[in-house]
Amino acid sequence: MKEFINKIAVSNKVDETITLTLDQRVKSRLKASLDSGEDVGIFMQRGNVLEHGDLIETQDNYIVQIVAASELLSSVYTSDAILLARACYHLGNRHVELQITKNSVHYRHDHVLDKMLQSFGLNVVSEQLPFCPENGAYTSNSNTNHKHHHEH
């Protein structure tokens, strides 16, 4: 079984891809399958999140690219920046992981949160999309010692 142990910045070659959900991408130790079906092990440094497009390699330089899997998300699309900011504020206040763009916000499907946003006059749709939420203000891809300024 191939064992992926390093995240690398760039490569002239990519041998294959592996499609992972967010829950899989946040684990430092994981058994998974390449998109070809081959079983592999992923052993990353703790604290790193594998992002869509990241490259990981084995000790003998076999390189795969991470693909964010489609997941069931709740999505809000609006050109009203204030309303979008209000939605993000209320979702963030509930510590919901958010994927934010100029005209949309996406989060893991949750009918209670959907109803809250609908009460603001927003239309919420459920759809299958790759989920790549914000890392957060106190994390980064290079930060292996996660620190928070408050207790949960």
DSSP characters over 81-137: HHHHHHHHHHHHHTT---EEETTEEEEE--HHHHHHHHHTT--EEEEEEE------T
Looking at residue 147, its pLDDT comes to: 35
What is the pLDDT at residue 149? 34
Q: How far is CA 105 from CA 31, 56, 110, 139, in A?
A: 31, 29, 13, 20
Nearest to 117 by CA among 135, 90, 81: 90
Alpha carbons 109 and 126: distance in angstroms, whole number: 7
Find out whether 14 and 55 touch, Cβ atoms under 8 Å. yes
3-state secondary structure of 54: coil
pLDDT confidence of residue 93: 95
Q: What integer pLDDT is reported at residue 47 of this predicted model?
A: 82
Query: Residue 52 CB: number of other CB atoms within 10 A?
Result: 16
Of 82, 56, 83, 76, whose CA–CA distance to 67 is shortest?
56
Sheet holding 99-101, edge to edge: 99-101, 104-108, 70-77, 124-130
User: Which pLDDT belongs to residue 137?
Assistant: 54
Residue 25, SS3 per DSSP: helix
| Average pLDDT for runs of 10 along the chain of length 152 | 94 95 94 97 90 96 97 98 97 95 97 98 97 72 37 38
Structural domains present in the chain: 2-68 (2.60.260.20), 70-130 (3.30.70.790)
Q: pTM (2 decimals)?
A: 0.81
